[in-house]
Amino acid sequence: MPLTETHYPDSYYYHSANQIKDRPYLQEDIKTEVCIIGAGYTGLLSAINLAEKGYKVVVLESNRVGWGASGRNGGQVGSGHNKKIHELEKDYGESLARDLWNLSEEAKSVVQERIKLHKINCDLKQGNASVSNDPNDDRMHRDYVEKLNSDYDYKLIRYMDSSEVSEMFHSPFFNGGGSLDMGGMHLHPLNYALGLADAAEKLGVTIYEQSKVISYTKSEPSLIKTNKGNVTAKIVVLACNAYLEKLERKLAVKIMPVNNFILATEPLSKEDARYINRDDVCVHDNKFHVHYFRMSQDNRLLFGGGENYTRTYPKDLKSYVRKPMLDVFPHLSKTAIDYAWGGTIGVTVNRMTHIGRLEKNIYFSQGYSGHGVALASLAGTIIAEAIDGEATKMDIFGKVKIPTYPGGTLLRWPGFYLGMLYYSLRDRL
């Protein structure tokens, strides 16, 4: 019997999930080599990679597999990092920027290879478009494409002029050019997470759901406590991201939990779906408060827009996200909204992923800042390699210093909120 009644969000992803299993909660004291806290992409891929290397692994999840951002996100698998390649070069130098780019390419490969290897049915498709509502951004799109084409030999991305963007999406909101990256992808995020969990269990990993960790020790071995049972483990992996809460304050001060929201329309006709997304790609714009969208397998528009920085969601999520959707696609004013849901992502000050080791036996990854599908999948791979003695890739991320939010966990909210108000105003202007 479950410890508590814990449900997935009432999202389109939940209602179109392949198969959701009930897994047991921890109710005894056990021992293992590695205990992973969190059953999202980071935790599950850490578990898979470690199990393949022969480690005995236990995963503790406070809710359900993929319950957090891994099962709620926009499903976009983008190239690179939150910072564009020229920003990486400016901030970290060309050598480190190139290493980071190469790792981001590996991140996409990890997603593709795991889906293929484990036969995960998650609607994986190619194509990621970046567009703009400002014609002045045209040069930015051109320069970005040219930079990747020439300096990084990345030929899967091309520039689109404003007429092609208009013909591809038929939105009056997008007035400028853009880029089309056929190396980018999109997928059903919850089905991806559920497929990874099944793969982990087939490799011998034990997953406990509804087993919230209330404390852990940094000793060797570590004692990880839940309400009904404890785990003694040589190694701990903290894979909680925005849901870390007070479990580890040294990490909590490095990320800001931000709520983001998505809706799913009723199914559109095939003609209507292709009218607003001709090539069935995923799309994001250049706004600070980004709009992003793609089509579901049954031709629903999945549209993300709107954020907040409080501990609660707006009361009427359908109306909240419908407003920015109609800014982009006003002709959908009579289209029904079947689902709307939210989730929390972890954002770092400099929008770069935070991966590393707190103690000799305590590893972590967090702060994907909106690029979590690919980078969290990579993080699980990198952490497993580091635990097994090869930390080269983790050390690359370690060269990117992640600032602490001013005021720590107590005062980060008001300061961040004021900053977001500024960028929101800039978006409107």
* H/E element, 293: strand 292-295
Could you read off the pLDDT tens digit of each residue along the chain, which spans 429 residues? Answer: 333 446 899 999 999 999 899 999 999 999 999 999 999 999 999 999 999 999 999 999 999 999 999 999 999 999 999 999 999 999 999 999 999 999 999 999 999 999 999 999 999 999 999 999 988 899 999 999 999 999 999 999 999 999 999 999 999 999 999 999 999 999 999 999 999 999 999 999 999 999 999 999 999 999 999 999 999 999 999 999 999 999 999 999 999 999 999 999 999 999 999 999 999 999 999 887 899 999 999 999 999 997 777 778 899 999 999 999 999 999 999 999 999 999 999 999 999 999 999 999 999 999 999 899 999 999 999 999 999 999 999 999 999 999 998 865 554 445 555 444 434 444 444
Topology annotation, domain 126-186+257-347: D-Amino Acid Oxidase; Chain A, domain 2 (3.30.9)
Residue 277 to residue 255: CA distance in whole angstroms: 34
Contact at 8 Å (CB) between 405 and 349? yes
Q: Which residues of 117-135 are buried (b: 16+ CB within 10 A; e: fewer)?
A: ebebebbbbbbbbbbbbee
Topology annotation, domain 12-72+190-255+350-407: FAD/NAD(P)-binding domain (3.50.50)
* Nearest alpha-carbon partner for 111 in 301, 376, 358, 363: 376
Contact at 8 Å (CB) between 275 and 379? no
Structure token pair of residue 287 = 């706004």
Structure token pair of residue 324 = 């920015």
Q: What is the predicted pLDDT for the residue at 425?
A: 42
Residue 417 to residue 427: CA distance in whole angstroms: 15
* Nearest alpha-carbon partner for 35 in 297, 236, 207, 256: 236
Q: What is the predicted pLDDT for the residue at 286?
A: 87
Helix axes 41-52, 372-387, angle to 10 degrees: 40
In the chain, ranges of CATH 3.30.9.10 domains:
126-186+257-347
Q: What is the predicted pLDDT for the residue at 399?
A: 98
- pTM value is 0.94
In the chain, ranges of CATH 3.50.50.60 domains:
12-72+190-255+350-407
Pairing of strands 362-366, 354-359: antiparallel
Would you call 405 helix, strand, or coil by DSSP?
A: coil
Give one DSSP letter per residue of 171-201, joined into a string.
Answer: -TT--S-EEEEEEEEE--HHHHHHHHHHHHH
* Nearest alpha-carbon partner for 47 in 176, 173, 206, 185: 206
- Provide the H-helix boundaries in 125-188: 138-151, 162-169
